Structure 1
Amino acid sequence: MFLTPYFLVFYLNSVMIKKEKNEIIDAWYQSSLVLTISAGIFSVVILAFLIFNYIQLKSDDPLNSPELMELKERLSRDPANEAIKEQIRALDLKLRKAYLRHRKFSNLGSYFLIGSVSIFLIGIRFVYSYREKLPMPKQEQKPKDEVKSKESKIAVGIIGILIFAGLIFSVQRSNRDFLIDVQQITSSVKTQTEEGKQQETIETITAQTPEISQTSTEIAVQTVVTSSYPTIDEINKNWSRFRGPGGLGISHYSNVPSSWNGKTGANILWKTAIPLPGENSPIVWGKRVFVTGATESKREIYCVDADSGKILWQKSVENVPGSSPIPPRVSEETGFAAPTATTDGQRVYAIFANGDLVSYDFNGNLVWAKNLGTPKSIYGYASSLLMHKGLLIVLYDQGGADENLSKIMAFDSNSGSLVWETKRPVPNSWATPIIINTGKREELITTGNPWVIAYNPDNGTELWRAKCLSGDIAPSPVFADGLVFATNAYAKLAAIRPDGQGDVTSTHIVWIGDSGLPDICSPLAVGGLVFLLQTYGLLTCYDAKTGEIVWDNDFAETFQASPSLVGDKIYLLTEDGFMIVIKLERKLEEIGRYELGEKVSASPAFLDGRIYIRGKNNLYCIGKR
Structure 2
Amino acid sequence: MKLHNHGITLMTLLGLAISGCKAQEPEVAAPAGTVKSATGVVGWRTDGTGEYPDAKAVTTFSDSDNVVWKTPLPGTSNATPVITGNRIFVCSEPTTLICVAKDSGAILWQKTNNYDEVAGANGNFPQTHSHNGQSSPTPVTDGQRVYVLFGTGVVACYDLDGNRQWATFLEKSTDGWGHSASPVLSGDTLIVHILNVVGLDSGSGKVKWRTPASPKWGSPALANIGGQDVVITPYTGDVIRVSDGKKLASGIAKLQYATPVVDGDIVYFIEKIARKVRLRPDGNGIKAETLWTTKIKGSRHYSSVVVDSGLIYAASREGHFAVIDDETGDVLLQEPLNISGGTNIVYSSLTLGGKYLYIGSVDGVTVVLEPGRAFQEVARNTIEGYRSSPVFDGDRMYVRTFRHLYCIGN
Which TM bucket (shorter chain)? Answer: 0.7 to 0.9
Consecutive unaligned residues of structure 1, counting only runs of 5 or more, are: 1-231, 397-405
Aligned partner of 1:391 among 186, 189, 208: 189
Residue 513 (1) aligns with residue 294 (2): yes
The Cα offsets for residues 497-523 of structure 1, whole Å up to 9 and x where unpaired, read as 11154585xx61111112225431112
Report the TM-score, using the length of structure 1 for normalisation: 0.56
Q: CA deviation at 1:480?
A: 3.5
Tell me the residue number matched to 2:106: 310
Distance 1:440 1:387 in 2: 17
Measured at CA, do residues 438 and 565 of structure 1 come closer, stay the same or move farther in structure 2, by a change above 3 Å?
A: farther
Partner of 1:240: 42
CA distance in structure 2 between the partners assigned to 1:439 and 1:541 by the alignment? 30
Q: Residues 322 and 331 of structure 2 are in contact (CA less than 8 Å); yes or no, is this contact kept in structure 1?
A: yes
CA displacement at 1:446 relative to structure 2:
1.6
Provide the TM-score with structure 2 as the length reference.
0.84
Query: Is the contact between residue 274 and residue 293 of structure 2 (CA under 8 Å) also seen in structure 1?
Result: yes
| Cα displacement string for residues 261-303 of structure 1 (whole angstroms, at most 9, x for unaligned residues) | 21x2x211111111022121111111001111123xxx21110
Q: Distance in 2 between matches of 1:286 and 1:579?
A: 27
Aligned residue type for 2:58: P
1:354 to 2:152 alignment: yes
Question: For the residues of structure 2 that align with 1:533 and 1:500, how far apart are their CA atoms?
Answer: 32
Aligned: 1:380 with 2:149: no
Q: Is the 8 A contact 2:367 2:377 kept in 1?
A: yes
* CA distance in structure 2 between the partners assigned to 1:587 and 1:527 by the alignment: 14
Contact 2:317 2:346 in 1 (8 A): yes
Q: What is the deviation of 1:577?
A: 1.2
* 1:411 has 2:197 as partner: no
Residue in 1 aligned with 2:10? none
CA contact (8 A) 2:222 2:262 kept: no
Query: SS state of the match for residue 416, structure 1?
Result: coil
Matches of residues 582-593 of structure 1 in structure 2 within 5 Å? 582-593=369-380
Query: Which residue of the partner structure matches residue 124 of structure 2?
Result: 326
Contact 1:272 / 1:618 at 8 angstroms: preserved in 2?
Answer: yes
The question of whether the paired residues in 2 share the 8 Å contact of 1:267 and 1:623 is answered with: yes
CA distance in 2, matches of 1:347, 1:243: 18
Change (3 A) 1:239 1:561: farther
Matched position secondary structure for 1:466: coil
Sequence identity (%): 27
Distance 1:337 1:533 in 2: 23
User: Which deviates the most, 380-389 or 518-527?
Assistant: 518-527
SS state at 2:37 partner = helix
Aligned AA (2:365)? F
- Structure 1 distance, partners of 2:307, 2:134, is 30
Aligned partner of residue 498 in structure 1, secondary structure: strand
CA RMSD after TM alignment:
2.2
Task: List per-residue Cα deviations over 1:85-110 (Å, max 9, x = no partner).
Answer: xxxxxxxxxxxxxxxxxxxxxxxxxx
* 5+ residue gaps, structure 2: 1-33, 340-344
- The structure that is helix-richer by fraction is 1
Provide the residue aligned with 1:616 in structure 2: 402
Matches within 5 A, 1:159-174: none
Letter in 2 for 1:623: G
| Offset of residue 454 of structure 1 | 1.6
Q: Answer yes or no: is 1:604 the counterpart of 2:408.
A: no
The within-5 A match list for 1:167-186 is none
Ranked by relative contact order (alpha carbons within 8 Å, sequence separation 6 or more), the top structure is: 2
For the pair shown, the structure with the greater C-alpha radius of gyration is: 1
Q: Shift in Å at residue 463 of structure 1? A: 2.3
Question: 1:465 and 2:250 equivalent?
Answer: yes
Letter in 2 for 1:530: I
Q: Secondary structure at the match of 1:497?
A: strand
Give the residue type in structure 2 aligned to 1:480: D
CA drift of 1:253 comes to 2.3
**Equivalent in 304, 311, 323 of residue 541 of structure 1:** 323
Partner of 2:73: 274
- Deviation (angstroms), 1:439: 6.5
* 1:214-253 equivalence runs, <5 A: 235-236=37-38, 240-245=42-47, 247-253=48-54
The total of aligned residue pairs comes to 367
